[in-house]
Chain A
Amino acid sequence: MTIKLEIEHLAKIYPTGDGVKQIDFYVNEGELVTLLGPSGCGKTTVLRSVGGFIEPTSGTIKINNKEVHHLPPEKRPSAMVFQSYNLWPHMTVYDNLAFSMKLKKVKKKVIQEKVTEVLKLVHLLGMEKKYPSELSGGQQQRIALARALLLEPEVLLLDEPFSALDAKLRHELREELREIQAKRNLTMLFVTHDQEEALSISDKIVVMNNGHIEQIAEPQDVYNTPASLFVAQFIGRMNFVKGKAVNNTIRIGDLTFPFDDAYTGNVTIGVRPEDIQLADNRTSSIDALVDKSMMLGHFAEITLQTKMGSLKMFVDREQMKQIALKSTIPIHLNRFLIFNETGEVLNIIGG
């Protein structure tokens, strides 16, 4: 696989002292890499640096192994899809799409063909004469995507493209984006703060926090083996319990677990709700009082009170019938992570 986009030691420090630093990652041809993080973590800064809208303080950005960070946006082989669509309201859909080609003095006939082709791709054929204000949000974003695709970019940059749309539409467009990616073999860098979106569409996720990278991994690895406490709490649901590690045991209240590590000090135990299960007779169990139950469709989330503290677990429809509110049930932790005081992963137990 060839590397399309490569970012090395990128840093952008704003006069306020905020910014990003030590950004290193690459995107292979045909891959969708997501920059994921809470707002203000610097993910958009990285994306806009690649697009040419921010001048980095230091570091290099290479597209197709050529340095581009000194080029203005109009000279870069990248295209951007913006959160706010940014269609030009005084132009029709056709003119919005044709603009880039008109600048390059492409023949009218070729422009027409290409516009028709790309409109077919985004399922909006026949909308040429409409103005952006006559389109719905989803349609506008499709046109914005089409406009970017017409540039035939080496790297397509997407800045939270679906976050202004409602949940159902967001789902639809994600799938469409994946289809288009497959058809066109697109290389994409995608920015989002929505962890579900990142998990569902990415080949690789770059988790960012506070201006630096926390973890780079495939979606299932980010979920299963988070590199830090931050990643663990940002992605998916997780219960956290405070404890202490002393003499190869971990203490949480009265409970003790064996712990194969020389580390001594405060620890945080992280358990995903789906890793808490009803204990059968063979396994060691913890008593838990069923406190609350919340129906979430094909499963329910129940809140348990245990000696470890409050825990949330998921149960399916069959189990729900067996579990009564305010009853005590035996539970078992299938898999959990142990973090030290600075949020690094010490150990993953079980699973």
Chain B
Amino acid sequence: MWYFRTLGKRKIIEFIFLCLFMLFFFGPLLNLLLLAFAGEWQYPDILPSVWSLNWWSFVLQDESLVRSMWLSFVIATVVTLISIIICIPAAYAFARIRFPLRRFFLFSFLLTNAFPKMGLYVAIAVLFYQMNLMNTFTGIILIHIINTLMFMTWIPSAAFENVHKSQEEAARDVGASPLRVFWHITLPMAKPGIIVASVFTFLSSLNEAEGTFLVGVPNYQTMPVTMYSIIADYPSTAGAVFSVILTLPTIILLFAARRFVGADAFANGFKMK
């Protein structure tokens, strides 16, 4: 208690709030983790009575489940790469060129996130039927990219804006052509923002379920899609195991990104200019 006595009243209140927040934030995650390793767990008990890895071996041995994991990672990687190729030049244009309706276009990326997703997907599905894109890999990639465009344009665009034009001019001055300036100066300086955007893109593609479900079923079932059926068909433990597997890359990637970039790069991404 001596520790609390040295703190002011305000600090104690802050501490209580922090604890509540942690409970709220990490409680469900902890519960999920416990559930994944539980063999038997009755309601009033705080901890499972029997621990087990049964459901882990079930999930990891089921070929179709493992295949869905692979598929998810392949799709997320492809989506991230294509988004980078499409969006980085667009982000640079938004940051550097003052074209008419610039802000309008920038905000238009929000539109896909403004509507209820299912409604949008149904409309897209109609289009996809006509173009024979239903139940295809390309179709899934397209539907994922619709969601990732916003991150991939906004965050790198803010990152490019943080590179001063005069820093590019200094590079021109010492003899670099515009292309070299972009490659050696602008791109490396904007790298933190681009990494953050790529992580967001990868994760949002990895976790995308609704669009994939609509366009990909039955041939293309990614992890989140498979999870729906697992939750419906198996005990909750199987769902927990699957969730942990789905959460793992998120946590790993976010920690990796934190190593490369500071928290300000995350925040800068959503600064509008």
Specify which of B166, B169, B174, B188 is in contact with A90 (CB 8 Å cutoff). Answer: B188
> 4 closest Cβ contacts across the A-B interface?
A100-B174, A86-B170, A73-B172, A74-B175
Specify which of B173, B180, B184, B188 is in contact with A80 (CB 8 Å cutoff). Answer: B173
Interface residues in chain A, defined as those with a beta carbon under 8 Å from any beta carbon in chain B:
51-53, 72-74, 78-80, 82, 84, 86-90, 99-100, 103-104, 144, 147-148, 151
Specify which of B177, B180, B189, B191 is in contact with A88 (CB 8 Å cutoff). Answer: B189
Chain B residue contacts of A103, Cβ below 8 A:
174-176, 180
Q: Determine chain B's interface SS by DSSP, over half rule.
A: helix
* Cβ of B168 to closest chain A Cβ, rounded Å: 9
* Closest chain B residue to A51, Cβ basis: B173
* Closest chain A residue to B185, Cβ basis: A88
How many Å lie between the Cα of A351 and that of B166 in the bound state?
47
Chain B residue contacts of A51, Cβ below 8 A:
173
Decide if A151 touches B174 in the complex (CB within 8 Å): yes
Specify which of A53, A148, A151 is in contact with B169 (CB 8 Å cutoff). Answer: A53
How many Å lie between the Cα of A148 and that of B177 in the bound state?
17
Chain A residue contacts of B185, Cβ below 8 A:
88
Within 8 A of A (CB), among B154-192: 164, 166-167, 169-177, 180, 184-185, 188-189, 191
- A-B residue pair count with CB separations less than 8 angstroms: 61
Decide if A99 touches B184 in the complex (CB within 8 Å): yes
Chain B residue contacts of A80, Cβ below 8 A:
169-170, 173
How many Å lie between the Cα of A11 and that of B173 in the bound state?
22
Given A89-B189, A103-B180: A79 in contact with B174 (beta carbons within 8 A) = yes
Q: List 24 A-B contacts (CB under 8 A).
A: A51-B173, A73-B172, A74-B173, A74-B175, A79-B173, A79-B174, A80-B169, A82-B166, A82-B169, A84-B166, A86-B164, A86-B166, A86-B167, A87-B170, A88-B170, A88-B189, A90-B189, A99-B174, A100-B176, A103-B174, A103-B176, A103-B180, A148-B173, A148-B174
Chain B residue contacts of A82, Cβ below 8 A:
166, 169-170
* Closest chain A residue to B167, Cβ basis: A86
How many Å lie between the Cα of A90 and that of B184 in the bound state?
10
Decide if A147 touches B174 in the complex (CB within 8 Å): yes
Decide if B188 touches A73 in the complex (CB within 8 Å): no
Decide if B171 touches A99 in the complex (CB within 8 Å): yes
How many Å lie between the Cα of A73 and that of B172 in the bound state?
6
Chain A residue contacts of B167, Cβ below 8 A:
86, 88
* Closest chain A residue to B190, Cβ basis: A90
How many Å lie between the Cα of A86 and that of B173 in the bound state?
11
* Cβ of B261 to closest chain A Cβ, rounded Å: 12
Given A53-B172, A86-B164; 15 other pairs, CB 8 A cutoff: A72-B172, A73-B169, A73-B172, A74-B172, A74-B174, A79-B174, A80-B170, A82-B166, A86-B167, A88-B167, A103-B180, A144-B170, A147-B170, A151-B173, A151-B174
How many Å lie between the Cα of A68 and that of B62 in the bound state?
71
How many Å lie between the Cα of A262 and that of B147 in the bound state?
82
Chain A residue contacts of B166, Cβ below 8 A:
82, 84, 86
How many Å lie between the Cα of A334 and that of B152 in the bound state?
72
Given A82-B166, A99-B184, A103-B180: A88 in contact with B173 (beta carbons within 8 A) = no
Chain A residue contacts of B176, Cβ below 8 A:
74, 99-100, 103
Specify which of A53, A88, A104, A144 is in contact with B175 (CB 8 Å cutoff). Answer: A104
How many Å lie between the Cα of A104 and that of B175 in the bound state?
8
Chain B residue contacts of A74, Cβ below 8 A:
172-177
Most chain A CB atoms below 10 A, which of B169, B170, B189: B170
How many Å lie between the Cα of A82 and that of B169 in the bound state?
10
Most chain B CB atoms below 10 A, which of A80, A86, A103, A151: A86
Within 8 A of A (CB), among B33-76: none
How many Å lie between the Cα of A80 and that of B170 in the bound state?
7
* Cβ of A163 to closest chain B Cβ, rounded Å: 14
Chain B residue contacts of A144, Cβ below 8 A:
170
How many Å lie between the Cα of A343 and that of B170 in the bound state?
40
Given A88-B185, A103-B180: A73 in contact with B164 (beta carbons within 8 A) = no
Specify which of B164, B171, B173 is in contact with A84 (CB 8 Å cutoff). Answer: B164
* Cβ of B159 to closest chain A Cβ, rounded Å: 12
Chain A residue contacts of B189, Cβ below 8 A:
88-90
Chain A residue contacts of B171, Cβ below 8 A:
88, 99
Chain B residue contacts of A88, Cβ below 8 A:
167, 170-171, 185, 189
Most chain B CB atoms below 10 A, which of A72, A87, A88, A89: A88
Q: Hey, what's the 0/1 contact readout for B220-233 against A, CB within 8 Å counting as 1? A: 00000000000000
Most chain B CB atoms below 10 A, which of A52, A78, A80: A80
How many Å lie between the Cα of A90 and that of B169 in the bound state?
16
Chain A residue contacts of B169, Cβ below 8 A:
53, 73, 80, 82, 86
How many Å lie between the Cα of A316 and that of B97 in the bound state?
58
How many Å lie between the Cα of A100 and that of B185 in the bound state?
12
* Cβ of B152 to closest chain A Cβ, rounded Å: 21
How many Å lie between the Cα of A51 and that of B172 in the bound state?
10
How many Å lie between the Cα of A147 and that of B169 in the bound state?
13
How many Å lie between the Cα of A98 and that of B176 in the bound state?
12
How many Å lie between the Cα of A151 and that of B171 in the bound state?
12
Chain A residue contacts of B173, Cβ below 8 A:
51-52, 73-74, 78-80, 148, 151
* Closest chain B residue to A97, Cβ basis: B174
Chain A residue contacts of B164, Cβ below 8 A:
84, 86
How many Å lie between the Cα of A78 and that of B169 in the bound state?
13
Chain B residue contacts of A151, Cβ below 8 A:
173-175
How many Å lie between the Cα of A113 and that of B46 in the bound state?
69
* Closest chain B residue to A86, Cβ basis: B170
How many Å lie between the Cα of A148 and that of B174 in the bound state?
7
